Amino acid sequence: MGSTERIRNVAKRVAKWVRAGHQLVVVPSAMSGETNRLLGLAKELAPDAHSAEHRRELDQIAATGEQVSSGLLAIALQAEGVQAISYAGWQVTIKTDDSYTKARIQSIDDARVRKDLAAGKVVIITGFQGVDDEGNITTLGRGGSDTSAVAVAAAMKADECLIYTDVDGVYTTDPRVVPEAKRLATISFEEMLEMASLGSKVLQIRSVEFAGKYRVPLRVLSSFTPWDIPLAEEAVSGTLISFEEDEKMEQAVVSGIAFSRDEAKITVTGVPDKPGIAYQILGPVADANIDVDVIVQNVSHEGRTDFSFTVTRGDYNKTLELLKNTVGPSVGGLDVSGDPKIVKVSIVGIGMRSHVGVASKMFRVLSEEGINIQMITTSEIKTSVVIDEKYMELAVRALHKAFDLDAPAAA
């Protein structure tokens, strides 16, 4: 949706599917760079525009980007001879909570959409946004159009949800870091959920959660393929996110290497080692609507321990200030410090369930590269480590090679 020419190509692609007999609901994002431009205007007027007091107005502003692209796409489709109608999220209605700038979808009223589809129209619904119980416009956070699309697909009980993005599928890791990265023809829902949560930017994690909860068949494809590619070829391109662990999937111990630069570490030193201490530290953080990721509590020494956890870099200063004001007086911590220059690197694969020694191999590879591990967290199908950000690319390349992900992917 980067330009009127790109929008015209989207319209031609949609028209191709319609003429093949498909009913379509299209959820577009804003035109390229538009959301940043709009939020930049707000920041010019108020340097603290992203503070809580301004977030309602930020949503009012940011939501207009998707409304413009939806209206333009409807016009482009009409010019192609296809009946089309566009709606903002609040017109459908897509109900959300009132967490401005990162709202969560609660329900979707699909009656109007079904009526238009039955009348032979393509329905275009703005992504990234909805409306709360008080009628205020809300937005879902960056990447929210993916979540909108999957949620609409779930509400409509769609046969399939196709996510067109700037990559042609899900890769073993970011090709910009490892040129040898391979596109995966299929990935399990569990692996995709982990990859999304661990920093892969292909899909927003909430869109994957929706797909899993409502078992929405999901495919990631490239928006840059020619619009006139044969429909049969387009329908099987990209990466299919599957709910079945087939034999092909089971062959790979590790399917991908994920990483996130958006990490910062908070450490509370000298905390009394007693029941409830984690809640006393993390309770105020949760109350401030700050997400916590990796958590490590060291072994107690003379009744004291160190407690570390990670947050996003955007929440780093807020968390640091919050804990400095609460930990000393109420918890008895001796010191609160932090490090915003860390990254998280993870190996992901459902094959890890049935193979021992995967984590130890990861640790050995990093050790051989001279990379110190600061924090570790594991699950059945992933192992994540927190390391100094200057070693991120080295770690990703070394792990990608060590787990044979440079090898040609199965077709």
How does pLDDT run across 396-408, given as a tens digit for each residue?
999 999 999 986 6
The per-residue pLDDT for range 344-397, each reduced to its tens digit, is: 999 999 988 888 899 999 999 999 999 999 999 998 899 999 999 999 999 999
The vertex-171 CA angle with 199 and 211, nearest 5°, equals 65
Same domain? For 232 and 325 the reply is no
Are 203 and 315 in a shared domain? no
Judged against a pLDDT cut of 60, whether residue 410 lies above it is answered with no
In a domain, 410, yes or no: no
Query: Which CATH number is 33's domain given?
Result: 3.40.1160.10
Q: Is residue 411 part of a domain?
A: no
Residue ending a domain, choose from 204, 221, 246: 246
Q: What is the pLDDT of residues 279-318, one digit of tens each?
A: 888 998 999 989 999 999 887 777 888 899 999 999 999 9
Tell me: the pLDDT tens digits for 15-51? 999 999 999 999 999 998 999 999 999 999 999 988 8
Q: Are residues 56 and 80 in the same domain?
A: yes
- Whole-model pTM: value is 0.80
> Do 279 and 323 reside in the same domain of the chain?
yes
Residue 187 lies in a domain: yes
Whether residue 279 sits in one domain with residue 179: no
Pair 193, 305 in one domain:
no
Using CA atoms, how far apart are residues 171 and 192, in angstroms rounded to an integer?
Answer: 11
pLDDT at 248: 46
Rounded distance, CA 11 to CA 6, Å? 9
Q: Is residue 362 part of a domain?
A: yes
> What local confidence, expressed as pLDDT, does residue 115 receive?
97
> What pLDDT score does 113 carry?
97
**Domain annotation covers residue 212:** yes
Instruction: Provide mean pLDDT across the span 109-119.
Output: 97
Q: Are residues 134 and 12 in the same domain?
A: yes
The last residue of one of the domains, among 227, 246, 265, is 246
CATH of the domain at 307: 3.30.2130.10
- The pLDDT of residue 335 is 86
- Domain boundary (246, 272, 307) is at 246
Please state the domain count of the chain.
2
Same domain, 238 and 300: no
Asked, for residue 408, whether it belongs to a domain, the answer is no
Which residue in 132, 125, 126, 152 sits closest to 63, CA to CA?
A: 126
Q: What is the identity of the amino acid at 355?
A: H
Please report the pLDDT score of residue 255 as a whole number: 92
Residues 261, 136 within the same domain? no
What does the pLDDT read at residue 407?
Answer: 63
What's the pLDDT tens digit per position in 182-220? 999 999 999 999 888 887 778 888 889 889 999 999 999
Domain that holds residue 372: 256-402
Strands 94-96 and 105-108: antiparallel
Query: Do 67 and 117 belong together in one domain?
Result: yes
Scanning 126-227, the segments in alpha helix (DSSP H) are 144-156, 189-197, 205-214
Query: Does a structural domain hold residue 284?
Result: yes
CA–CA separation, 278 and 388 (whole Å): 25
Task: Give yes or no: residues 63 and 187 share one domain.
Answer: yes
Residue 324 lies in a domain: yes
Both structure tokens of 406: 């440079």
Rounded distance between C-alpha atoms, residue 310 and residue 340, angstroms:
9
**Mean pLDDT of all residues in 269-275:** 85
* 15 and 137 part of one domain: yes
| Strand pairing class (335-348; 256-272) | antiparallel
Token pair of 27, please?
A: 């959820």
**Tens digit of each residue's pLDDT (9 = 90 or more) over 224-250:** 899 999 999 999 999 999 886 554 444
For residues 243 and 267, which has the higher predicted lDDT (pLDDT)? 267
Band of the pLDDT at 72, cuts 50, 70, 90? very high
Q: What is the structure's pLDDT at 328?
A: 65
- Examine the pLDDT at 118 and tell me if it is beyond 60: yes
